[in-house]
Amino acid sequence: MGRFSRLWPFGPPSAAGAEGVDQGSSALARRVLMVCTGNICRSPTAEAVLRAKLEQAGLGDRVAVASAGTTGWHEGEAPDPRARQHALLRGYDLSALRARALRPEDYERHDLILAMDEGHLAHLQAHAPAGSRARLQPLLAYARRFAGTAEVPDPYYGPPQGFEQVLDLVEDACEGLVACLAAELPAGSAG
């Protein structure tokens, strides 16, 4: 657990909301944002996987999860059909998610913003407002089975196996992140 505690040293969460979670809940303790390029493959997959893993761990009502892209190329679109298909085969439903671009307020709204690759991390760092509260990290910093893997590769232009690789990496990293959160937050609702 020492590795994870170094990855998550936050103070109290912000009062701002995150999509998809009852923001009036006093039990909400953390907000996480997943980021890729267009918010149609990797980051929505990571959003759905993390939500499912948090629910399994009894932390679904304590952590808000959202996703965004570094660009607005696909604003309002559903995730890529291939990402939806491969995710559904593993029990993750991406159908309700819609792409959106990263916004300046995301740096205040979220405690942790996780990048899918080094380019996304550089973008996040370059666009972070001065004094931003969000911690910026690669998602794979939380990987255990794939420790040492630096990036979640973009499957968009590749073969179907690329979407399976994304799921393998994302599931591993999300399990590591949930383990860190479980050590920090009590399970269930505080109310």
154 is catalytic: yes
82 is catalytic: no
Order the strands of the 112-115 sheet from edge to edge: 63-69, 30-36, 112-115, 135-138
Cross-strand pairs, 34: 67, 114
Read off φ and ψ for residue 20, nearest 5 degrees.
Answer: 80, 5
Active-site residue, selected from the candidate residues 90, 98, 133, 154: 154
Q: What is this structure's pTM?
A: 0.86
Q: Tell me the two tokens of residue 184.
A: 């920090």
Q: Which of 114, 112, 111, 84 is nearest to 99 (CA)?
A: 84
Q: Which of 7, 60, 5 is nearest to 29 (CA)?
A: 60
pLDDT tens across the length of the chain (191 residues): 334 334 544 433 333 333 443 333 445 789 999 999 999 999 999 999 999 999 999 999 999 999 999 999 999 999 999 999 999 999 999 999 999 999 999 999 999 999 999 999 999 999 999 999 899 999 999 999 999 999 999 999 999 999 999 999 999 999 999 999 999 886 554 43
Q: Which of 13, 37, 14 is nearest to 124 (CA)?
A: 37
**pLDDT for position 29:** 87
**pLDDT for position 184:** 87
Q: How far apart are CA 76 and CA 58, in angstroms?
A: 30
Q: Which of 73, 66, 65 is nearest to 37 (CA)?
A: 73
**pLDDT for position 1:** 36
Active-site residue, selected from the candidate residues 30, 31, 41, 42: 42
Active-site residue, selected from the candidate residues 31, 36, 111, 172: 36
Amino acid at 168: D
- Neighbour count for residue 131 (Cβ, 10 Å): 7
Find the angle CA(34)-CA(56)-CA(118) to the nearest 5 degrees. 20
HSE of 91 in the Cβ direction (CA atoms, 13 Å)? 7
36 is catalytic: yes
